Chains A and B, each alone.
Chain A
Amino acid sequence: YLLLGRWRKKHLTFRILNLPSTLPSYTARAALLQAFQYWSNVAPLTFREVKAGWADIRLSFHGRQSPYCSNAFDGPGRVLAHADIPELGSVHFDEDELWTEETYRGVNLRIIAAHELGHALGLGHSRYTQALMAPVYAGYRPHFKLHPDDVAGIQALYGKKSPEIEDEEEETELPTVPQVPTEPSPMPDPCSGEVDAMMLGPRGKTYAFKGNYVWTVTDSGLGPLFQVSALWEGLPGNLDAAVYSPRTQWIHFFKGDKVWRYVNFKMSPGFPKKLNRVEPNLDAALYWPLNKKVFLFKGSGYWQWDELAQTDFSRYPKPTKGLFTGVPDQPSGAMSWRDGRVYFFKGKQYWRLNRQLRVEKGYPRDIAHNWMHCRPQTPDTTPSDGDTTSSATGTTLDTTSLAIDITLNTDRSARDTILDITPSATA
């Protein structure tokens, strides 16, 4: 590694000034946020997003011309991005590239952003051609992680990340109020593949709910299992459905004839409320970004709900198969995911739908193997197009080395996103 400079502080702000046109904005945002997290996972750095005004690190996209950058880009290919070293903070991406996520096509925004943030934090290019800080883009890697040389470089600049010296103000206590009285229940095994609900939550995190527990699903593995009520105070386990809406920042949980609403991990006033205009005991729920509506599913029917308008439900439920072609009745979970597709989950299997809401060929597939990173029990049939889903496959669940990576924004507005990852601890 090569050290080019360093910030005198470790808690930095960042601002995303614009986004590429080749990705859905929440996919691009999730990629950029994840890029910060690679570094904050291994060094005592925190990154707080600001949506206006000055920020230490400023990310933007420009092309061959730019009013504020003398370093023009060169069209598709060749130079992909550049960044200033500390304490300047500019990070620029070539808007003419085909920025992508979860595919070998184009240029992976998350990996390139992590590289450029390495420069913005003070690293130069690495001699290791497989290191993130190598000068030449080594292509999309589904289970990308920092190379030891990258980690050694950033820790040479800012030290190692260690839980005991976590700054007080950054300390995020778990809620201390007594949890919801939940009947003691055995910790579920994610490798069973069965879930009560799936949710793409704030900051592009994927949550799986089962019984009284919830865990995150990432490209590189599973987060530790948490009691649902330890994260969302007042929320019971054994949920029917969960859905996050980027349009309102609301998270809705459904169980029986009740609905709970949270913003991040704080329950909204007046909740839980009684479900009275749709049937109780729902099966699943999802947010569809194309029309910004929430879909609720039960049995073979669905309701389409506009969170911000008075919805006339008199013509609902409508037949699910009329809109979501090829999906099963009574799903256990459903979500629109970062890749722009819709997923349905039922039992141990899941279905992936294309942008026309039609189940793609080669589905259903195995949840445990393709989402929960569990070794396949039975030979898994990869769809003929050979496209595997985004999550890692073929690894057994390693619960010994999991770090806790839940971001608890209890008293901050949704505007400021703290990407400070609480240190690893016994789950």
Chain B
Amino acid sequence: WALGPGEKEAAVDYLLQYGYLQKPLEGPDDLRPEDIIEALRAFQEASELPVSGQLDDATRARMRQPRCGLEDPFNQKTHK
């Protein structure tokens, strides 16, 4: 996807902030692409968006919606 500067980082920050993605406790900071895709799919499903695993326009728009600051428990893996 043609992403603007920083859009990918902003999306990863969103997924981390709201509990869709967990920084590996022991590993290095960089996250595995498959984890990011899984987190994105969890967010899209919880948001009733097409579950593409891609950072498409609808997903980015949804991430800009005003919301509560608490985490979402919608990615079973991180939620555990």
Contacts and interface: CB of A to CB of B under 8 A. Distances in A.
Interface string B16-53: 00100000000000000000000000000011100000
Contacts of B18: 135
Contact of B66 (A77, A124, A129): A77
A125 B66 contact: no
B69 A79 contact: yes
Contacts of A135: 18, 67-68, 70, 72
A231 interface: no
A229 to B, nearest CB: 45
Q: Which of B18, B46, B66, B71 has the most CB of A within 10 A?
A: B66
Interface residues of A, number: 23
Given A125-B73, A136-B47, A78 B66 contact: yes
Q: Which of B62, B68, B71, B73 has the most CB of A within 10 A?
A: B68
A57 interface: no
Interface in A99-136: 107, 112, 115-116, 119, 124-125, 127, 129, 135-136
Contacts of B71: 125
Main secondary structure on B side of the interface with A: loop
A26 interface: no
A83 interface: yes
Nearest to B18: A135
A78 B64 contact: yes
Given A135-B18, A136-B47, A136-B62, A127 B74 contact: yes
B66 A107 contact: yes
Contact of B46 (A73, A78, A83, A127): A127
Interface residues of B, number: 16
Interface string A359-387: 00000000000000000000000000000
B68 A79 contact: yes
Nearest to A125: B72
A2 B68 CA distance: 15
A7 interface: no
B71 to A, nearest CB: 8
Contacts of B62: 136
A81 B46 CA distance: 20
Nearest to A133: B68
A129 B48 contact: yes
B46 A82 contact: no
A119 B69 CA distance: 11
B70 A80 contact: no
Nearest to B67: A136
B70 A125 contact: yes
Contacts of B48: 129
A240 to B, nearest CB: 46
Interface in A1-17: 2
A137 interface: yes
Q: Which of B65, B67, B72 has the most CB of A within 10 A?
A: B67
Contact of B47 (A73, A124, A129): A129
A82 B68 contact: yes
A82 B72 contact: no
Given A127-B74, A129-B47, A137 B69 contact: no
Contacts of B64: 77-78
A162 interface: no
Contacts of A388: none
Contacts of B65: 136-137
Nearest to A77: B66
Contacts of A125: 68, 70-74
Nearest to B48: A129
B68 A115 contact: yes
26 contacts: A2-B73, A71-B69, A73-B69, A77-B64, A78-B66, A78-B67, A79-B66, A79-B67, A80-B67, A81-B69, A82-B69, A83-B70, A97-B66, A107-B66, A119-B68, A119-B70, A124-B70, A125-B70, A125-B73, A129-B48, A135-B18, A135-B67, A135-B70, A136-B47, A136-B65, A136-B67
Given A116-B68, A129-B47, 19 more contacts: A73-B69, A79-B68, A79-B69, A80-B66, A81-B68, A83-B70, A119-B70, A124-B70, A124-B73, A125-B71, A125-B73, A127-B74, A129-B48, A135-B18, A135-B70, A136-B47, A136-B66, A137-B67, A137-B68
